Amino acid sequence: MTAGPDAASEEPMYRILLIEDDKGDALLVEELLYDTGLRFELRTRTTLAEARTELADAPIDCVLLDLHLPDVSGIDAVAAVRGLAPHTAVIVLTGLAEAQAGPDAMAAGAQDYLVKGKVEADLLHRTVRYAVYRSQTERASAEAQATRLRAEENARLERGLLPQPMLDTSTVRVTSRYLPGAAMALLGGDFLDVVEGDDGLLHAVVGDVSGHGPDAAALGVCLRIAWRSLVLGGHRGEDLLHLMERILIAERGSQQLFATCTLLTLDQDAATATLHLAGHHEPLLTTAEGTRELAAAHGIALGIVPGLRSWPSTVVPLPTTGAVTLYTDGLTEGHNGATNERLGVEGLLALIGNLPSADPATHVDLLIKETHELNAGRHSDDLAVLRLDWGNRPTHP
């Protein structure tokens, strides 16, 4: 490896790979590089095979490429180097009798070309700097485009996780919140939904797909849409969960993926709620007297033991005025302040009892804010909260 002159510290260091089998031409290029005043590290290889190893082992800013190598020539050489290092600037070195070789090489992906015997230090200086700059700009543009496309895809998935409630009634107020667990992420595996069926009953679901990231989010969207379609199609209770489990098994990419969920059917005329818990925890009931956990029978998570169909129902009486909150374990599995203990349901209920706001949306936002502050970033999990209020708003949080 050859090091170039030590110029001012603000000048960038260019890592240059020269692929040239003619020793005389290689020496001329090296001398010209010294005359440019660029700060550089030069590595010289005589074949594409040697260059392949070099490009794989070390980051290279610019390749100076002879078009007539022992193992490849012409635009095939350009294509080969671009394939090995797609984000590296390529400058081809052509002969005096190859007028069209340079433009052809640029059409094949090279940033620029130089004609041997007509290169001076100033020209080489400008060519290397501009070629590297263009290559870096193209890379940044491609990365920005990829980021934009990922963001658009994530937004589409996120809309699938956070649907618009389908309600004909104005007597129930729906408040929902969703937060992915990973920092800077848009997606997680939690899902929620609310619809009103033709029977006039309000149906709600909150679920949690195991794992994190796009795969879990995609499966969560799938289950949420399946749940809504099945509810509108008249399926209820154990039959509904059985069909959701079949869909989960068909759509999951790994047998390790499973999902927990709580189904709730709210019958305001009968003042009851019917619960089905599939590996999920109980909802919370808020009344004028306070907030407590609803006692309900537990069933198995979806996908754990396919076909078992063990999801018993629980019918609980409801007050004329109240609220039910369904949530995923991201709300309770965080740490409880400075201790190593988890917040848990008891800690969550204590926290709710101290919240001042009776407005549902403000209440849920404060609850999430408080749990996050107590956790202080030590535990990362997705979080979904769905609160349903009916009657006059409870005066107690």
Mean pLDDT confidence for 382-394: 85
Whether the Cβ atoms of residue 371 and residue 348 lie closer than 8 Å to each other: yes
What's residue 153's pLDDT?
66
Two structure tokens written together for 204: 């709600």
Report how many domains make up the chain: 2
CA distance 30 to 25: 9
31-68 pLDDT, tens digit each: 999 999 999 999 999 999 999 988 888 889 999 999 99
Are residues 103 and 181 both part of a single domain?
Answer: no
For the domain that residue 281 is a member of, what is the CATH number?
3.60.40.10
Beta bridge partners of 92: 65, 113
Q: Which pLDDT tens digit goes with each residue over 308-350?
A: 999 999 999 999 999 999 999 989 988 777 677 888 999 999 9
- For 65-101, the DSSP string reads EESB-SS-BTHHHHHHHHHH-TTSEEEEEE-TT-TTH
**For 268-305, what is each residue's pLDDT tens digit?**
999 999 999 999 999 999 998 999 999 999 999 999 99
- Lowest mean pLDDT of 133-147, 214-228, 245-259, 278-292, name the range: 133-147
123 and 251 in a single domain? The answer is no
Residue 369 forms part of a structural domain = yes
Is 221 inside a domain boundary? yes
Per-residue pLDDT band at 184 (split at 50, 70, 90): very low
Instruction: Give the pLDDT confidence of 136-147 residue by residue, as tens digits.
Output: 888 888 888 877
**pLDDT band at 98; cut points 50, 70, 90:** confident
Type of residue at 209: V
Say yes or no: 328 and 237 in one domain.
yes
Q: How far is residue 309 from each of residues 164, 278, 304, measured CA to CA in Å?
A: 30, 10, 11
Q: Residue 235 has what pLDDT?
A: 95
Q: Which value, to the nearest 10 degrees, does the dihedral of the CA atoms of residues 157, 158, 162, 164 take?
A: -70
Residue 365 domain flag:
yes
For residues 178 and 275, membership in a common domain is answered with yes
Would 132 be classed as within a structural domain? yes
In a shared domain, residues 24 and 78: yes
Higher-confidence residue: 148 or 266?
Answer: 266
Q: Which domain holds residue 302?
A: 162-390
Residues 111 and 201 in one domain: no
Let me know whether 118 and 179 are in one domain: no
185 belongs to a structural domain: yes
